[in-house]
Structure 1
Amino acid sequence: MKENKKTAIEEIENKAALICEVADRIWEYAELSLMEYKSCNLYCDKLTQEGFEVEKGICNISTAFKASFGKGKPVIGILAEYDALSGLSQERGVAEKKEFVPKSGEASDAACDRSAESCGGASEKGNTGHGCGHNLLGAGALAAAIGIKKYLSESGSEGTVILYGCPGEEGCASKAFMARDGEWKKLDAALTWHPADCNEVVTGSSNSCIQVMYTFHGKASHASGAPEMGRSALDAVELMNVGVQFLREHMSEKARVHYAITDGGGVSPNVVQPRAQVLYMVRSNHVSEAVELQKRVDKIAEGAALMTETTFDREFIDGLSDTVTNRSLEKVLYSNFEELGVPEHTPEELDFAGRLGRSYEGFGDVPGIGSDFDEEYADSVKALRKTLGEELKLEGVGVYDANSTGTQEGAACPMNDFLLPHYMGYAFEPGSTDVGDVSWVCPTAQIHVAAWPNGCPGHSWQNVSSAGSSIGHKAAIHAGKVLCMAAIDLYENSDLLQEARAEFEKRTASGYVCPIPEGAVAKALDI
């Protein structure tokens, strides 16, 4: 490893306690989308102490921030997230479902103070948790920024690093609002990561997504005594849902439409419901397709209102784009990931991972994005897992009862402690991320680092448990190192950035269709 990278990596290691402290405190806060006030303040305070120039409330989002260091170009952005999910309160580092209850005096300004207001309207006090590992995502991004700052300071090189605090990934898509406001145009490249069950460079596309709330207004009446006087808002919601069911036959096979009735109009069946509300989520592979599909859903809402003689309000909630692949940046990330290796886990950590893995199905699944699309690639990953499992077996680690939940293959290799081959083929993930909007505006790439056992389901209590453990700490620190090393390559080799820019311009030649309309304001979803 080059000396400049060694110096940056050593700085991250020297700050490991800080990174773990931040990860743990964000884990304890577990604040919902756009309610991450404590989390935002913590990051801004720590970054100010570390010598960054911090600006809070960027793009009119109160819990968003950016922290800059350096001067001139190139400008590399590192993306952080820190919002949690509702219904996922869970104790850290345990292999059974157990609600997190802070000890007396522990996190007095955090988890034990999760009122309905501070939790963004969570239905149960404190019933929130980091089921997507965003406490680690932000901490790992912080680690990368600290390492890059050290490099820029020591080398005297021209260049700027900006750590972006991006709130509300789960329910706002703040990066899309930032894209609308031109924030990502300032960057030469953006790098990020996400906790996962394996170590890999992320590639391929994802679904775009738009959320809209429809609130129908009718007229209350006695449902038996004077039904002709009533106009049912709930009827309108139901007819809208029926209309969308028929739409499903006439949309792309990659498109998805989901809905949730957030207000059924009350609990009295003998009252014609004067108000009802439904939240719709429209997905499609490309954001331009999602925008057009959303227009069709709007027309169905109009039809439902006409049929029931009701009216409705349409409230845009959020929208985000599909991801744009950038192989040039992927190669930079992969070469540094390969040089650095993967996190190493102790027998105790592997034992915990194995016990946690027995609590869900899919423990023996083949990991990696490419495994779902390329049989030969999947076979190569199986071979890597088998080799690791045999090594662990020889050491007497990670071998569990094959009759327990999960397969013997999964039990023998609870953590995927190896780097997956760089997959270069077609890949598509049906989920959505607002990193997509960044990737439509500047060259963008990301990695996955194993933060929980193989096959661990997303948005689960198992994720929360592992994200609060030493396994999660190691993932955050390691991710920061990989991102930092890749950024150093970009600062020192302008050809890499030029190649990434050329590829970006080719892949985005059709133009960016921002899903966020002018005038829309990012706000917490109040249901």
Structure 2
Amino acid sequence: MDLLKQEALAEIDGRAPGGAALADEIWDYAELGYLEHRTVAAQIAWLEKEGFTIRRNIAGIETAFWAEAGNGGPLIGILGEFDALANMSQVEGLLTEEQADEGQPGHGCGHHLLGVGSMLAAAAIHAVLKRHGREGRVRYYGCPAEEGGSGKVFMARDGAFDDLDVCFSWHANSVFSMHASETLAIKTAEFRFKGRASHAAVSPHLGRSALDAVELMNVGVNYMREHMIPEARVHYALLDGGGRAANVVQANAVVGYTVRAPELSDANELFDRIAKIAEGAALMTETKVDVEIKSGLSNVLTNSTLEKMMFRNISEFVGPMEYTNEELSIASQYAETISETDVLHACKVFAKGEEIRTPMHQGIVPFDGTPTRVPVSTDAGDVSWIVPLARCFGPCYAVGTPFHSWQMVAQGKLSYAHKGMLAAAKAIAATALDVFGDPETIPAAKAELERKKRGKPYVCPLPSDMQPQIPAI
């Protein structure tokens, strides 16, 4: 099996120039979630040349697809993302913040690398299996709208992951490590209050203020914060204050709330309490409130069976990383734009507290199978409730580069970003070949998943009639 893995790594190296060019092309496109049409077209064209069969419009979403190759044997899935972030346009390679196209999206989370790296892994796996006449199928998933759009959740609701045996993914970061992170489940909604407009001086007694209702709701939620589990998070934003005229009793007001908690059941319970507070605010102000669910994500269930296997491959076949003097010099210049606080935070969250003092991470963060808790949310969580999932981080940026920052966008086309992408692709490909070669891995990974679920079935966090929120062009 080691020889097959070495072949897979060589296959990825052989495709590296084309992969880097495709990642750069997708960086240029920088399309918002559910609008990634050029990106999807470019990925499908590349995968078809590699011999993959395409299924389009998964869950009725134009930019959701899968590409499958191989015959018989287990079916391994590999997740790819490719959406950009709003208002994150940035001039490539620049050492100062400067938008390339004012107000346009940019790849501030490295998804242009993520999707291509996963495709490279899938292509290498298929090439090796085919060359040696081995059974096994690999399926790359083109997953839209991870950034707040719940793309994988709609795909999961449609059954897109139900027939997989195991699944892999990765994410761009500034360290080389396992992504064995227990994330938070999330539920997001808008609370729309409707009252009655009136002249605030002549006839205030005839008005019923929707803005008052929003303010009372916020006060009520703030009092609730003392009485919720410490791991939970509640965020809110005033989306519509009802206008700018103070002499008008506001007839309409909208507030958005996001609830995060360790498990979806916790998030749902907390959300239900917030909804009751909203109803109370409406009663107090004699207004009406409607609730519109905007998104929902399950928490990630980690899988040490697969994660330990992936870590061994990272340690023995892939890493640590090597960089040229020129790459280290460029990374050093970006490091000067990053605060010491950002560096220490990245080391604490992603490197288990190890203080990394080099501009690029040239080591591998130790991993013993113990997951970490990271208070973020991702739609990969819903996949992890359906099929065993393992993820790693690829070192694509100067150490401490903050996510969703101009520095991350600016470094997205640099050679060391491509190197991190290739390293993650190799980790996935080598681990997938281990799974194909060891018939005991899949039942062990599935048994661990069932233990982590504790008898709970997967329940989609979105209403059954909810459709993707496609941005207006």
Scaled by the length of structure 1, the TM-score of the pair is 0.85
C-alpha contact (below 8 Å) 1:219/1:230 kept by paired residues: yes
Looking at structure 1, the residues matched to 348 and 24 of structure 2 have their Cα atoms a distance apart, in angstroms, of 27
C-alpha contact (below 8 Å) 1:328/1:500 kept by paired residues: yes
CA drift of 1:19 comes to 1.1
Q: Which position in structure 1 is the counterpart of 2:292?
A: 315
Q: Does structure 1 residue 440 correspond to structure 2 residue 385?
A: yes
Following TM superposition, the consecutive aligned residue runs of length 4 or more in structure 1 with deviations greater than 4 angstroms are 368-372
Kindly report which structure 2 residues correspond to 1:77-156, keeping only aligned pairs within 5 A, or say none. Answer: 77-101=77-101, 125-126=103-104, 128-156=105-133
Q: Which position in structure 1 is the counterpart of 2:467?
A: 521
Looking at structure 1, the residues matched to 351 and 86 of structure 2 have their Cα atoms a distance apart, in angstroms, of 31
**Cα pair distance change 1:434/1:185, threshold 3 Å:** same
AA in 2 matched with 1:61: I
Kindly report which structure 2 residues correspond to 1:389-404, keeping only aligned pairs within 5 A, or say none. Answer: none
C-alpha contact (below 8 Å) 2:301/2:452 kept by paired residues: yes
AA in 2 matched with 1:84: A
Give secondary structure in 2 for the equivalent of 1:367: helix
TM-superposition CA deviations, 1:215-241 (whole Å, max 9, x none) = 222222222222122222222221211
CA drift of 1:445 comes to 0.7
Looking at structure 2, the residues matched to 364 and 437 of structure 1 have their Cα atoms a distance apart, in angstroms, of 30
C-alpha contact (below 8 Å) 1:200/1:368 kept by paired residues: no
**Cα pair distance change 1:426/1:8, threshold 3 Å:** closer
Looking at structure 2, the residues matched to 307 and 183 of structure 1 have their Cα atoms a distance apart, in angstroms, of 45
CA drift of 1:306 comes to 1.6
Match of 2:321 among 343, 349, 355: 343
Q: Which position in structure 2 is the counterpart of 1:360?
A: 338
Looking at structure 1, the residues matched to 84 and 334 of structure 2 have their Cα atoms a distance apart, in angstroms, of 21
CA drift of 1:426 comes to 5.2
Looking at structure 1, the residues matched to 30 and 343 of structure 2 have their Cα atoms a distance apart, in angstroms, of 30
Looking at structure 2, the residues matched to 310 and 526 of structure 1 have their Cα atoms a distance apart, in angstroms, of 30
Q: Which position in structure 2 is the counterpart of 1:302?
A: 279
C-alpha contact (below 8 Å) 2:308/2:369 kept by paired residues: no
AA in 2 matched with 1:486: T
Match of 2:419 among 474, 495, 509: 474
C-alpha contact (below 8 Å) 2:304/2:370 kept by paired residues: no
**Cα pair distance change 1:43/1:280, threshold 3 Å:** same
Give secondary structure in 2 for the equivalent of 1:183: coil
* Number of positions where the alignment pairs a residue of Structure 1 with one of Structure 2: 469
Kindly report which structure 2 residues correspond to 1:271-282, keeping only aligned pairs within 5 A, or say none. Answer: 271-282=248-259
Looking at structure 2, the residues matched to 479 and 312 of structure 1 have their Cα atoms a distance apart, in angstroms, of 47
CA drift of 1:526 comes to 6.6
C-alpha contact (below 8 Å) 1:368/1:420 kept by paired residues: no
C-alpha contact (below 8 Å) 1:7/1:150 kept by paired residues: no
Q: Which position in structure 2 is the counterpart of 1:422?
A: 367
Q: Which position in structure 2 is the counterpart of 1:330?
A: 307
Give secondary structure in 2 for the equivalent of 1:467: coil
Q: Which position in structure 2 is the counterpart of 1:29?
A: 29
Q: Does structure 1 residue 491 correspond to structure 2 residue 427?
A: no
Give secondary structure in 2 for the equivalent of 1:168: coil
Kindly report which structure 2 residues correspond to 1:167-316, keeping only aligned pairs within 5 A, or say none. Answer: 167-316=144-293
CA drift of 1:488 comes to 0.7
> What 5-or-longer segments of structure 1 have no aligned partner?
102-123, 373-377, 386-409
Give secondary structure in 2 for the equivalent of 1:15: helix
C-alpha contact (below 8 Å) 2:388/2:449 kept by paired residues: yes
CA drift of 1:18 comes to 2.0
CA drift of 1:368 comes to 6.1
Match of 1:459 among 388, 393, 404: 404
TM-superposition CA deviations, 1:288-332 (whole Å, max 9, x none) = 111111111111121122222222222111111111121110111
Between 1:74-83 and 1:267-276, the stretch displaced more is: 267-276
C-alpha contact (below 8 Å) 1:197/1:367 kept by paired residues: no
Give secondary structure in 2 for the equivalent of 1:89: coil
Q: Does structure 1 residue 161 correspond to structure 2 residue 141?
A: no
CA drift of 1:471 comes to 1.7
Looking at structure 1, the residues matched to 72 and 239 of structure 2 have their Cα atoms a distance apart, in angstroms, of 49
C-alpha contact (below 8 Å) 1:172/1:318 kept by paired residues: yes
**Cα pair distance change 1:265/1:468, threshold 3 Å:** farther
Looking at structure 2, the residues matched to 474 and 163 of structure 1 have their Cα atoms a distance apart, in angstroms, of 21
CA drift of 1:513 comes to 3.4
% of aligned pairs identical?
41
TM-superposition CA deviations, 1:74-114 (whole Å, max 9, x none) = 1100001111112221112222212225xxxxxxxxxxxxx
TM-superposition CA deviations, 1:442-491 (whole Å, max 9, x none) = 11010001111111211111111112221211111221111011111111
Give secondary structure in 2 for the equivalent of 1:471: helix
**Cα pair distance change 1:313/1:42, threshold 3 Å:** farther
AA in 2 matched with 1:309: E
CA drift of 1:370 comes to 6.8
CA RMSD of aligned residues (A): 1.9
Between 1:360-369 and 1:229-238, the stretch displaced more is: 360-369
Looking at structure 2, the residues matched to 310 and 217 of structure 1 have their Cα atoms a distance apart, in angstroms, of 6
Give secondary structure in 2 for the equivalent of 1:517: coil
CA drift of 1:49 comes to 2.6
Between 1:191-200 and 1:317-326, the stretch displaced more is: 317-326
**Cα pair distance change 1:226/1:423, threshold 3 Å:** farther
Give secondary structure in 1 for the equivalent of 2:218: helix
C-alpha contact (below 8 Å) 2:193/2:214 kept by paired residues: yes
Looking at structure 1, the residues matched to 361 and 351 of structure 2 have their Cα atoms a distance apart, in angstroms, of 14
CA drift of 1:213 comes to 1.5
CA drift of 1:364 comes to 4.8
Q: Which position in structure 2 is the counterpart of 1:104?
A: none
Q: Which position in structure 2 is the counterpart of 1:113?
A: none
Looking at structure 1, the residues matched to 281 and 129 of structure 2 have their Cα atoms a distance apart, in angstroms, of 59
Between 1:476-485 and 1:11-20, the stretch displaced more is: 11-20
Q: Does structure 1 residue 19 correspond to structure 2 residue 16?
A: no
TM-superposition CA deviations, 1:368-413 (whole Å, max 9, x none) = 64755xxxxx4xx44xx5xxxxxxxxxxxxxxxxxxxxxxxx3xx1
AA in 1 matched with 2:393: H
C-alpha contact (below 8 Å) 1:95/1:352 kept by paired residues: no
Give secondary structure in 2 for the equivalent of 1:51: coil
AA in 1 matched with 2:469: K
AA in 1 matched with 2:323: H
Looking at structure 1, the residues matched to 191 and 22 of structure 2 have their Cα atoms a distance apart, in angstroms, of 38
Give secondary structure in 2 for the equivalent of 1:459: coil
Looking at structure 1, the residues matched to 320 and 91 of structure 2 have their Cα atoms a distance apart, in angstroms, of 26
Give secondary structure in 2 for the equivalent of 1:86: coil
Scaled by the length of structure 2, the TM-score of the pair is 0.94
C-alpha contact (below 8 Å) 1:44/1:56 kept by paired residues: no
AA in 1 matched with 2:428: L
AA in 2 matched with 1:90: Q
C-alpha contact (below 8 Å) 1:342/1:478 kept by paired residues: no
Looking at structure 2, the residues matched to 71 and 266 of structure 1 have their Cα atoms a distance apart, in angstroms, of 61
